[in-house]
Amino acid sequence: MLINCAAYEDGRKLSDIPVEDIDQWLQRPGCFVWVALRDATDEELRQMQHEFELHELAVEDARHGHQRPKIEEYGSTLFVVMKLPELKGAELEFGEVMTFVGANFVLSVRNRSPHGFLGVRERCEREPEHLRQGAGFVLYALMDAVVDRYFPVLDALETELEAIEDAIFDRGAARSNIERLYALKRRATEMRHAVAPLVEVAGKLHGGRVPEVCANTQEYFRDVHDHLTRINAGIEAMRETIGTAIQVNLSMVTIEESETTKRLAAWAAIFAVSTALAGIWGMNFEVMPELQWEWGYPVALGLIAAAAGLLYRRFRRAGWL
């Protein structure tokens, strides 16, 4: 679906244009065209391929989607793939935006994401002194908007990790904590797979051999690279903390099992003494001095109770009960 198709010159929007007239505006000196598509159909992609002379391999990637974040050069055209994170309850989902950038055009194709980039277009149009730099600045603005979406997701994951850490020492919560930690670790890994390649993408757009379309905007891409580096470092730190939390949680499970074992052993010892004493007086010998004693039965019960009470007191002092 076509979202926007507009022509810009000298940092200012000239007008919205029909797709059929794109080739005419591309021939105009100092003008560039910015087109935004959402969940583009094959027919729309074929039309854009014809209008902007896009490479068939890049168009094929845009058609199939589910690409790894990357940057590729096809002659003077850049093809950039970025993941769009979205946290839906406990589930982390990713859309993607694929951007074709040439000297006089920008084409963004957004897939499987409800969040648009109208705010990016409005921001660029409010800053004509920056938009005057052309398609390179538009690519920066799109990348910056994508990167900004990672910060609240990372904050939400860190908040969840802190909540789990607070519950680690709660008795009986070990199983649920392990399940939550592994689910969080999976989401952190998905974030890492989306961010780490993007750090490399941003690194190629400032310093060294920079694509010509981004030559005048290197300092902006350096800023994006710094943000991505911070996000990536935060993800790595969170993954390490999750690993530590898992180990602590497993240790708590071992401690709880040890305490349970000690309780069982203490009660087993108490009943073992009672059983031993009862077994002594339960032997079927004809000659036993206590059998004919009038107070033998209550004394035997008292001795069993006293032995059990003494053992119970000792185990309580030792912390086993």
| Domain-embedded: residue 164 | no
Is the pLDDT score of 139 beyond 90?
Answer: yes
Number of domains into which the chain is organized:
2
| Domain-embedded: residue 57 | yes
Q: What is the mean pLDDT of residues 3-25?
A: 89
What's the rounded Cα separation, in Å, for the pair 162 and 165? 5
- The domain that holds 123 is classified in CATH as 3.30.460.20
Residue 313, token pair as written in the block: 């007191």
What's the rounded Cα separation, in Å, for the pair 13 and 237? 43
pLDDT given for residue 45 in this prediction: 92
Angle between helices 56-64 and 42-52 (to 10 degrees): 150
pLDDT above 70 as % of the chain = 93
Residue span of the structural domain in which 291 resides: 258-318
pLDDT given for residue 269 in this prediction: 78
| Domain-embedded: residue 292 | yes
- The domain that holds 265 is classified in CATH as 1.20.58
Q: What is the mean pLDDT of residues 254-258?
A: 74
Reference 141, options 122, 157, 156; nearest CA is 122
pLDDT given for residue 235 in this prediction: 94
Of the listed ranges 116-120, 121-125, 261-265, the least confidently predicted one is 261-265
| Domain-embedded: residue 154 | no
Model pLDDT for residues 36-61, shown as the tens digit of each residue: 999 989 999 999 999 999 999 999 98
Residue that finishes a domain, picked among 78, 112, 127: 127
Q: Which amino acid is at 208?
A: G
| Domain-embedded: residue 158 | no
| Domain-embedded: residue 170 | no
Answer for the pair 102, 135: CB distance below 8 angstroms, yes or no.
yes
Residue that has been written with the tokens 């007191």 in this structure = 313
| Domain-embedded: residue 86 | yes
290 versus 210: the higher-pLDDT residue is 210
pLDDT given for residue 115 in this prediction: 77
Record the pTM. Answer: 0.78
Is the pLDDT score of 169 beyond 90?
Answer: no
Answer for the pair 61, 40: CB distance below 8 angstroms, yes or no.
no
| Domain-embedded: residue 45 | yes
